[in-house]
Chains A and B, each alone.
Chain A
Amino acid sequence: MRLSPDDIIFWQYGFLKLNATIAFTWGLMLVLAVGSRLVTRKLSKGPQRSRWQNLLEIVVTAINKQIREVGLRGAENYLGFLGTLFLFVATASLFTIVPGYEPPTGSLSTTAALAICVFVAVPLFGIEERGLRGYLRAYLKPTFIMLPFNIISELSRTLALAVRLFGNMMSGTMILAILLTITPFVFPIAMSALGLLTGMVQAYIFSILATVYIAAATQAREPEPGPEG
């Protein structure tokens, strides 16, 4: 039994490998990019809209609303990044209904890449919003003793993001594979329905955690500069 879709190798040339993770990621990217391009090609402002435009509008407004509810001002700035994270993770788990497909998020490399994106984006957004000094000063709050702990928490939450998504997705496919050997017909269907639900919840959690981290880094809760000492 294999742990991740990394082990399915479609094509190999020397040390260059095209494994299932990369291939399915490309497939997802293609579906997302071409799909949204096709939908947004002819947008209408009138009362008569295509059903796909309605779908995309619902998705975009919902993500926007969620970002705003977390307390991030200027949700449109972050919509591109956070929306992409959500849509990628969500479609990656939605496509499990296609036979032969394995979610690329079930590989630690994919989830680590996504978590590193968050790890890099949080300081970038923070510096953009508050300036370098303002952002770096947040590490010294409440006192400078907390500096190492703040840095550790920054690293450990990245690890947690990656391993959480990986563990959930991997456990879904693993349970399916184990159940297929024990009770071949009915239970795997129920478990894959449950897998769809957990996939959606994980996509929501991944993007909402990224939103919370960005909100914590960008919010300028500058206290009044009191007397030093």
Chain B
Amino acid sequence: MDSMTLVALASIVAAGLTIALGSIGPALGEGRAVATALSSLAQQPDAATTITRTLFVGLAMIESIAIYCFVVSMILIFANPFWNHVIAQAAAK
């Protein structure tokens, strides 16, 4: 395998693994957060506005981890610096 294929292969596999592994943690975390929020909503419906606001802010915090993974994998696919470097080297030859 020449280096071009290797870079392409590594980028694609890494992009897939990034989003696949990186979404496990946030998914579990969001599930726990929503479950707890639902049970506390059922216990105290009066505090609904506070619970909902805190839930949204917390979910955004948790979700940002998954979003980072998504951004990294998108960069690996669409704006890959290593790929651009290989292309530039191939063009220089």
Contacts and interface: CB of A to CB of B under 8 A. Distances in A.
Contact of B60 (A2, A66, A205): A205
B64 A209 contact: no
B63 interface: yes
Contacts of A130: none
A70 B70 CA distance: 30
B9 to A, nearest CB: 20
Contacts of A171: 67, 70
A3 interface: yes
Contact of B74 (A3, A66, A160, A202): A3
Contact residues on B (Cβ < 8 Å of other chain), bracket: 10 to 19
Interface in A1-28: 1-3
Contacts of A174: 74
Interface stretch (B10-18, B49-57, B81-89): B49-57
B71 A212 contact: no
A163 B56 contact: no
Interface string B17-52: 000000000000000000000000000000001100
A163 B67 CA distance: 8
Contacts of A170: 71, 74
A64 interface: no
A69 B49 contact: yes
A163 B49 contact: no
B63 A164 contact: yes
In the complex, the 10 A-B pairs of residues with the closest C-beta atoms, listed nearest first = A167-B67, A205-B60, A164-B64, A3-B78, A167-B71, A160-B64, A164-B67, A167-B70, A3-B79, A171-B70
Given A70-B53, A166-B71, A167-B71, 17 more contacts: A2-B78, A3-B74, A3-B79, A69-B49, A160-B61, A163-B68, A168-B67, A170-B71, A170-B74, A171-B70, A174-B74, A201-B60, A202-B60, A205-B57, A208-B53, A208-B57, A209-B60
